[in-house]
Amino acid sequence: MKLLVVGGGGREHALAWRLSQEAKVWCTPGNPGIAEDVETLEVKATDTDGLIAAAKNLGVDAVVVGPEDPLVNGLADAFRQAGVPVYGPGAEGARLEASKAFSKDLMAEAGVPTAAYANFTDSANALAYARERYAEGTSLAVKASGNALGKGVVVADTFEEAEDAIRRMMDSREFGEAGATIVLEERLVGAEFSLLTMVSDKGYQSLPVAQDHKRAYEGDQGPNTGGMGTFAPILSVGQDVIEETEARVVRPILAALAARGISYRGTLFSGLMFHHGAVRCLEYNVRFGDPETQTVMRLVGSGFAEAVLACARGESIPPFEVSGESAVTVVVASGGYPGDYAKGLSIEIGDLPAGAKLFHAGTARDSEGRLVTSGGRVIGASATGLDLASARAAAYRAAAAVRFDGAFFRRDIGG
């Protein structure tokens, strides 16, 4: 089997690493860490014609698209039109992530349990609505409708915080056009978890449930990030909860898409919360989560590549192995992230404990070939263990082995 992975972050590193254990894998454009595990190309994820040519020249059986932006821009559609099977939804299906307003409306149409909400394209109307809700004692989450790289959500304790977020998103356009439309959503309270479901024309298969830590600092303090670490499985989320979630969150939204004539192949990421003991859907993403994938790929085993290929072809998904171990990923980030941060800082990596793996996200080579930082989230230190405690201990030893000026990581992942 031959596969081409498109992307160059930690998610794509984890996918390429896992798939390469069962298939010949290329990754484009990749990064220095990915290049240590598979052959990389120099075709950018935005170069549709170049990607199609590369896939055909390599004779790959399927392409796996990692990031959301190429999916939103129709890359999967282009591959399918060129006769290349691809793991990832077309642009219409990718609207689930590209537009939170569309996603919330479709949830309501499909009867998916979610928070009460309203969509706005005018800041004055949004502020009036928010003022009324806070006067009633209801606090809100303010969400940019478009893709803001995981940072476009503000959980506002007070009206003043909501007002500030609304003005920054809509008037100042802090997130560009992503904030032209916003969603004001009733704030839910509870434990969050993520369910990644592989979807084909002929069925679906969910992966181990993971929990992400979105805030920058310990104790879930500080601004939202793309994710500072994950662990899986969540022992408190049993098979009964997974089956309920599939029945109430996964199947209805896929049926709603199908009713609109939208075929969906790829990963459906359901962002979920236990709210007063019941599962509520916070959001959908249309690709493997980041950093959830770094953790989940440590737990899937033989047969996973065949399952990916089956999804790309729209066939029934064959079974694949899932380890009974635990896995933890700790993100080592640049000082200042998710705000401004320096790039080009030299990275040193010490000895890693047994069972650990570093997934590169924001790394590059400088003109002298040295490994340097190139992003906010630099490396995901991932480890497995017989239980959560042992996996967590190994992941933190691995994170401590990654050194560069200003490096920081949360110390409560999986704690």
* Alpha-carbon separation of residue 362 from 11, 31, 378, 397 (angstroms): 11, 8, 4, 20
Q: How many helices (H) and strands (E) does the chain have?
A: 14, 24
User: Are residue 302 and residue 258 in the same domain, yes or no?
Assistant: yes
SS3 content of the chain, % helix, strand, coil (to 5): 35, 30, 40
- The string of DSSP codes covering 207-270 is PPPBEE--EEEGGGEEEE-S-SEEEE--TTS-HHHHHHHIIIIIHHHHHHHHHTT----EEEEE
The per-residue pLDDT string of the chain (415 residues; one tens digit each, 9 = 90 and over) reads 999 999 999 999 999 999 999 999 999 999 999 999 999 999 999 999 999 999 999 999 999 999 999 999 999 999 999 999 999 999 999 999 999 999 999 999 999 999 999 999 999 999 999 999 999 999 999 999 998 877 799 999 999 999 999 999 999 999 999 999 999 999 999 999 999 999 999 999 999 999 999 999 999 999 989 999 999 999 889 999 999 999 999 999 999 999 999 999 999 999 999 998 899 999 999 999 999 999 999 999 999 999 999 999 999 999 999 999 999 999 999 999 999 999 999 999 999 999 899 999 999 999 999 999 999 999 999 999 999 999 999 999 999 999 999 999 999 999 8
User: Are residue 151 and residue 244 in the same domain, yes or no?
Assistant: no
Domain boundary among 281, 313, 345: 313
Structural domain contains residue 110: no
Q: Where are the alpha helices (DSSP H) in 73-117?
A: 75-81, 91-98, 100-110
CATH number of the CATH domain containing 244 = 3.30.470.20
Structural domain contains residue 98: no
User: Are residue 297 and residue 197 in the same domain, yes or no?
Assistant: yes
Q: Which domain holds residue 26?
A: 2-89
Domain boundary among 186, 216, 231: 186
User: Are residue 241 and residue 299 in the same domain, yes or no?
Assistant: yes
